């Protein structure tokens, strides 16, 4: 179930794409930068934003690891053909 400002609950984050998480993070940042949120909402938005940043970082780390693994030379196969 989505929480009040559209940021997913932790269980929902597992289903987000990297791009969807970034979109949500950008909306949170815009809301906080507007200066119109009360303090409690700002703190809640900050917490949700940190959660999304961690999620995106984990996704990027996993993609980087996958790319590095795919880029490793295959044993017994020459790169020059």
Which residues of the chain, if any, have pLDDT below 50? 1-5, 7-8
CA distances from 19 to 32, 41, 69, 70, 76 (A): 20, 24, 23, 22, 38
- Which residue has 């932790």 as its token pair? 10
User: Domain residues of the chain, as ranges?
Assistant: 17-71
Res 5: pLDDT: 47
pLDDT at 11: 54
Residue 21 backbone class (left: φ over 0; alpha: ψ -120 to 50; beta: rest): alpha
Number of Cβ within 10 Å of residue 23's Cβ equals: 14
Q: Which fold has domain 17-71?
A: Helix Hairpins (1.10.287)
């Amino acid at each position: 179930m989505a929480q009040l400002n559209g940021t997913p609950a932790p269980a929902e984050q597992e289903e987000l794409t990297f791009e969807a998480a970034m979109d949500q993070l950008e909306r949170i940042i815009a809301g906080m930068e507007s200066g119109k949120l009360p303090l409690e909402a700002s703190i809640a938005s900050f917490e949700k934003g940190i959660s999304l940043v961690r999620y995106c970082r984990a996704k990027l780390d996993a993609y980087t690891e996958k790319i590095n693994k795919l880029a490793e030379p295959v044993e017994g196969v020459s790169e020059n053909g």
